[in-house]
Structure 1
Amino acid sequence: MFIATLVISLLLALILVFSAMGKLRRDPMQMGTMEKVGFPADRVWLLAAAEAAGAAGLVIGLFWWPLGAAAAVGVILYFVGATAVHLRVRDFNVAAPAVLLVAAAAALVLRLLSA
């Protein structure tokens, strides 16, 4: 079970790091999405910080399970919010945040089962 936890946690952390880097670099595609959903461009760094913290928590949580579980809960809440914001503005292109939400839920369940 720990191997599955390791794989899911590391893959999700990697995706979060790349997403955070894109936000910090103001990737045009990500900034277009931020504009579409009405998120202020001057606060995108907050989302990047949340993603980086989630990634760090998932990786460190492989060694101390309570942190891994807490990080997974935080990432779940982040992507629930992301999905809700897309739906609020009637942007039904929610595949990416929904898949990452499911991955975060899997990371949480696996982390709890392998504790």
Structure 2
Amino acid sequence: MYVTAAILSVLLALVTLAAGAPKTVLKGDVSAGLQSHMGLSAGLVRFIGLAEVSATVGLIVGLFWQPLGIAAAIGMALMMIGAVGYHIQVGDYANPETRGNALAAVVLVPFFAATAVTLVLAI
């Protein structure tokens, strides 16, 4: 089970780092879109980015100390559920132009949950 947990943790760490780093420094289309289209403040976008980068660290360190990895995976699953709710609120799933980016949060929730479960089973 540890091998599965390690693979999921590393892959999700790469995803969260790639998503969080640009938000942390407020660079790129995603940060601009979150501010203009979604109406989020620059501070909130930066906070989300920092949470994603922190989850990256938690997922990697969690390979050696599972409680941290479990917490990071659960935290990111909850954050993605919140993102889904916010995307529903602004109507992204009904709009074909914004649906693709919004679906990333839906797809990632089960992967973060599976990572948490496999880390628990690897203890």
How does the TM-score come out when normalised to structure 2? 0.86
Root-mean-square deviation (Å): 1.4
Q: Is the 2:13–2:60 contact (alpha carbons within 8 Å) kept by the matching residues of 1?
A: yes
How does the TM-score come out when normalised to structure 1? 0.91
Structure 1's unaligned 5+ residue stretches are: none
Structure 2's unaligned 5+ residue stretches are: 94-98
Equivalenced residues, count:
115
> Which moves more between the two structures, 18-27 or 30-39?
30-39
Aligned with 2:37: secondary structure?
helix
Distance 2:86 2:6 in 1: 30
Look up the match of 1:9.
9
Look up the match of 1:39.
40
Residue 52 (structure 1) aligned with residue 29 (structure 2): no
Look up the match of 2:118.
110
Residue 30 of structure 1 deviates from its aligned partner by: 3.9
Aligned with 1:37: secondary structure?
coil
Deviations 1:12-44 (A, max 9, x none): 011101111221252124421442222113431
Look up the match of 2:96.
none
Q: Which one-letter code corresponds to 1:13 in the other structure?
A: A
Distance 1:111 1:34 in 2: 35
Q: Which portions of structure 1, spanning 4 or more consecutive aligned residues, are displaced by more than 6 angstroms?
A: none
Residue 75 of structure 1 deviates from its aligned partner by: 0.6
Q: Which one-letter code corresponds to 1:16 in the other structure?
A: T
Residue 98 of structure 1 deviates from its aligned partner by: 0.9
